[in-house]
């Protein structure tokens, strides 16, 4: 099976080069990997000590950030090397302030894995949440026997449907032997690993809670949002997709409430932004048009850029988080939750433990139809007590689940003494 995996990987590496001719995203995926080894050679010296973090995409980067920040404090003489698999992670965070070197992870071939480790030569390795590349893990295991590399999984999630737990997943199960320790989010993940004979497991929780709580202690001021809000009840719609927007636009157009709306779509391509704006009958302005305009005069503010949604949530009285009408489901609800805001989402949220918990606790409201969305918003807008109660549930939930980073760092600190 491992032989077949390597054959398929070689074929896939050729296929993506062809697909890159037709897809801008795949073109980034291919072109971004062309100079990885030259970058590593230029930025890492043979005598440097390094620590390697791997994140699949942007969400995993945010999840691992609290650990990266603490590791940088605890190991100030090490260089942090950060790799991404996806362009949606690398292109957004390639200039991040935490890593000394940020690159795409070369495809998981034996030769790539060997050359990557030759240049990076890490002392510690952290894989965030998932992505188990067998050749990288096998090469790490070999290297650890001679130079003592420690490899960890942080905020891990395991499910029965994964290849590790299938009859054909032997080479994946074998790759898990590389990990010195697994820090998982829940009891079911721990039990699944134990069923494979792995007992070097600890339930640490999810480092995303540490990440979102840290947001409270930074400067979230956006003067233009404050001007637009103008002390008016404001609904912030984050990471919306067209299926979300079809219901939201109807509510916006028909609502008689004295309320303002901020929409930060998931896709900010100009044609999609224009289409969204054309559907809204109330006075609407784009972020890119805000200069020299009096924002207090508008009722709807469309954010046609990325990177500021988290700060915008700090101005919300109510949040709608998009993605819940798609697959796998709703986007990050922890960012608005940490500000103590009641949240509304679509019907597809069960894939995410935090969303399921908050729906069950009634801090978050799941809707499936136009009438359900209308009722949820009408109730939250009209009843300030209910709004504050649900917001308090969300805030308390986040505060009660912090501490995963401390668990991980205590273990690593003990092992390095």
Give strand pairing partners of 156: 184
- The DSSP line for 268-315 is --HHHHHHHHHH--S-EEEGGG-TTS-GGG-SEEE--SSS-HHHHHTT
**Is 187 labeled as catalytic in the residue annotation?**
no
Q: In angstroms, rounded to a whole number, what is the distance separating the alpha carbons of residues 268 and 306?
A: 8
What are the CA-CA distances from residue 125 to residues 140, 179, 207 (Å)? 9, 9, 17
Whole-angstrom distance, CA of residue 243 vs CA of residue 229: 26
CA 18, CA 22: separation in Å to the nearest integer?
A: 8
Phi-psi region of 116 (alpha: psi -120 to 50; beta: other; left: phi over 0): alpha
CA distance 209 to 329: 19
Is 184 within 8 Å of 158 (Cβ atoms)? yes
Q: Which of 38, 60, 62, 362 is catalytic?
A: 60
Distance CA(244)–CA(402), nearest Å, equals 30
One DSSP character per residue, 97-145 reads: SS-SEEEEPPPS-HHHHHHHHHHH-EEEEEEES----HHHHHHHHHHHH
d(CA 56, CA 127) in angstroms, rounded, equals: 9
Residue 237 forms beta bridges with which residues? 263, 320
DSSP string, 186-236: SHHHHHHHHHTT---EEE---HHHHHHHHHTTS----HHHHHHHTT--EEE
**CA atoms of 209 and 211, how far apart (whole Å):** 5
> Rounded to an integer, what is the distance from CA 411 to the centroid of its chain?
24
Residues with Cβ within 8 Å of residue 371, at least 6 apart in sequence: none
Active site residues: 60
């Amino acid at each position: 099976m491992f032989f077949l995996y390597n054959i398929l990987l070689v074929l896939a590496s050729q296929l993506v080069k062809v697909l890159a001719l037709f897809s801008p995203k795949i073109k980034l995926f291919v072109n971004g990997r062309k100079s990885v080894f030259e970058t590593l050679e230029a930025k890492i010296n043979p005598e440097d000590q390094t620590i390697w973090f791997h994140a699949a995409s942007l969400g995993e980067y945010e999840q691992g950030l609290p650990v990266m920040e603490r590791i940088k404090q605890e190991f100030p003489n090490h260089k942090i090397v950060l790799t991404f698999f996806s362009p949606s992670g690398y292109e957004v965070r390639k200039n991040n302030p935490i890593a000394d070197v940020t690159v795409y992870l070369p495809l998981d071939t034996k030769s790539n894995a060997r050359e990557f480790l030759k240049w990076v030569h890490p002392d510690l390795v952290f894989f965030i949440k998932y992505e188990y590349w067998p050749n990288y893990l096998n090469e790490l295991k070999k290297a650890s026997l001679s130079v003592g590399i420690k490899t960890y999984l942080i905020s891990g999630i395991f499910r029965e449907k994964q290849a590790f737990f299938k009859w054909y997943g032997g080479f994946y199960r074998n790759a898990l032997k590389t990990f010195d320790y697994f820090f998982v989010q829940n009891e079911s993940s721990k039990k699944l690993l134990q069923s494979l004979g792995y007992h070097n497991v600890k339930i640490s929780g999810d480092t995303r809670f540490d990440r979102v709580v840290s947001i409270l202690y930074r400067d979230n001021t956006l003067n233009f949002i404050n001007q637009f809000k103008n002390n008016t009840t404001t609904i912030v719609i984050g990471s919306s997709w067209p299926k979300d927007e079809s219901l939201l636009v109807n509510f916006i157009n028909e609502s008689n409430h004295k309320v303002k709306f901020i929409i930060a779509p998931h896709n900010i391509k100009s044609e999609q932004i224009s289409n969204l704006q054309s559907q809204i009958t109330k006075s609407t302005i784009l972020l890119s048009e805000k200069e020299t305009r009096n924002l207090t005069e508008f009722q709807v503010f469309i954010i046609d850029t990325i990177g500021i949604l988290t700060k915008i949530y700090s101005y919300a009285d109510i949040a709608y988080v998009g993605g819940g009408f798609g697959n796998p489901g709703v986007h990050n609800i922890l960012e608005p939750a940490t500000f103590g805001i009641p949240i509304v989402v679509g019907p597809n949220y069960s894939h995410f433990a935090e969303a399921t918990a908050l729906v069950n606790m009634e801090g978050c409201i799941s809707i499936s139809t136009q009438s359900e969305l209308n009722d949820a918003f009408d109730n939250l807008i009209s009843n300030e007590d209910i709004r504050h109660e649900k917001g308090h549930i969300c805030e308390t939930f986040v505060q009660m689940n912090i501490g995963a980073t401390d668990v991980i760092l205590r273990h690593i600190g003990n092992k390095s003494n």
